[in-house]
Amino acid sequence: MTQAIRRTLLSFAVMAGACSGDPESSGARTGQTGGGVSGSDIVAGSDGASVVAGADSSNGGVGAVTSAGTDGMVAAAATTGQTARLDLNFDNPTGSTADPNAAPNPMGDVDYSYIWVANSTQGTVSKIDTRTLTELGRYQTSPNAQGRPSRTSVADDGNVAVANRGLTTDGGPGEGGGVMKIYANMDDCVDANGNGVIDTSTGATDIKAWGQDECVAWYQVIPEASNRPVAWAPPPAQDATAKLWTAGTNSCTSTNCSITVYRLNGDTGVIEDTIPISLPVGPDFISGTTFGGDFIIGNYGPYGAASDGGGNVWLFNANTTHLIRVDAVTLDVLMWPVPAANGYGITIDSTGRVFLCGAQGVTRFDPQSGTFDSSNPIPLGYNGCMTDGAGTLWVAGGSDAGTPGLHAFSTDTLSHTDTFTVGNIKGVSIDIDGFVWGVGSTGMSGLEDWGRFAYKVDPITRDVFTFEGLNGAYSYSDMTGFGLKQAGFLPPKLE
């Protein structure tokens, strides 16, 4: 991959918004002004990844910082910088100058891009346009509004699935677990009451009563107390029905942990496959202990999930520190004990390697060789991560005594290459224009409540754009669909 592509895609993870360009754009990225460094200041790092020189250290290592108000609208000052990426040709994601070596943008040639952020405390999910930083809708995620959603996953067609943890307000197991699907495109929504219009949310203050929003496609109850991971699989063929993976658990004891993986029909939400898995309890088993001073780990099982390019699902089981793979064709289960306690977030890069992130660093698993490698220890907290398809892994930091901000790692060397100190971040995603998004986390252990914010970061200019108006955000996984679009596939090594 050329250095030019690295400069443009430089690794981020999100859920992008609508494709409305700004007529007052300041022009190409390299001519941008606004407090960040210019494109000409990019230099090559020792590991081959692009890094940025000349950041203003007085501003925490970031460039211009602009904000959106509580209604999600971007302040006028935010125009400079943010719109510099809007001139991208989707078939040439290297800026304003054509590059014959450029690969197609993995998000494809689409006319909208959203990031879907779970408002866990409120029991809702927000649909945010990544280009205008406008919230276009907010949706209740479970019948009793007590679902405590935390994971969102975007399908190839742009529609989103949201999983509900089913927690009570004090963080213990409760009711409300289940998965819902929301249509991203108004044209797909159904006029169920026959009034000639689509009745759906139009913003943060317009949350429809349960069963009244006509852009909610379906809701499927998951019979476990804990339902966290959710991941769309790529459809097996054009126009084929996409499948959705999720999982839950009711029983993790000191000797055994039983979880159930489900595969749902993406069109109807019907559970088509049920895969029970029994895991031996490892040395890092956690039961009945305080986790981050906020909630109790005991029966929560799989914490994250990601599908590879072959449609297989990979999960990290928090109680037993196992990496699990379920085959999309045979439903056979493989599992590996993770040697380093770095699991929490999970993502798959364009070559098919699996990354586990959180706690004290990053761990990478190569399915072909069956080997694990880990970064040097760095306190990140328990958070999400995503690769950018161009050699960088972005990891959220800040909760549970982690170092706040967005952290960049080389996917090849696992070296820590950069930090953007933008707050206490729970989840990371990358949008269609290559910007890195970090979603704040509801305060834990007395930390400030960053759960009102999401940050859009330009890793080249170091400009930061802030969205404010979330309600108890606690969101990570593939919030924009970028992870699924760029995930590769490696067949696992079989002993």
Q: What is the pLDDT of residue 340?
A: 73
Across 92-120, b (16+ Cβ under 10 Å) vs e yields bbbbeeeeeebbebbbeeeebbbbbbbbb
| Residue found by looking up tokens 């707050």 in the block | 423
Q: How far apart are CA 49 and CA 393, in angstroms?
A: 11
Total tally of structural domains belonging to the chain: 1
Whether 425 is covered by a domain: the verdict is no
Q: Of the candidates 275, 226, 281, 280, which has an alpha carbon nearest to the alpha carbon of residue 249?
A: 226
SS3 call for 81: helix
Q: Tell me, what DSSP letter sits at residue 477?
A: S
Report if pTM > 0.85. no
pLDDT in tens, 47-57: 222 222 223 33
pLDDT in tens, 335-391: 998 887 677 899 999 999 999 997 788 999 999 999 999 999 888 877 899 998 889
In contact, 9 and 123? CB cutoff 8 Å: no
Q: How far apart are CA 63 and CA 404, in angstroms?
A: 17
Give the model's confidence band at 129: pLDDT under 50 very low, under 70 low, under 90 confident, else very high. Answer: very high
| Percentage of the chain exceeding pLDDT 70 | 67
The range of the structural domain enclosing residue 203 comes to: 3-40+75-378+472-486
Whether 66 is covered by a domain: the verdict is no
Whether 453 is covered by a domain: the verdict is no
> What integer best gives the mean pLDDT of the chain?
74
Q: What is the pLDDT of residue 299?
A: 58
Q: Tell me, what DSSP letter sits at residue 89?
A: B
Whether 480 is covered by a domain: the verdict is yes
Whether 154 is covered by a domain: the verdict is yes
CATH number of the domain where residue 290 is located: 2.130.10
Whether 48 is covered by a domain: the verdict is no
Residue 92 has pLDDT above 60, yes or no: no
Whether 438 is covered by a domain: the verdict is no
Whether 161 is covered by a domain: the verdict is yes
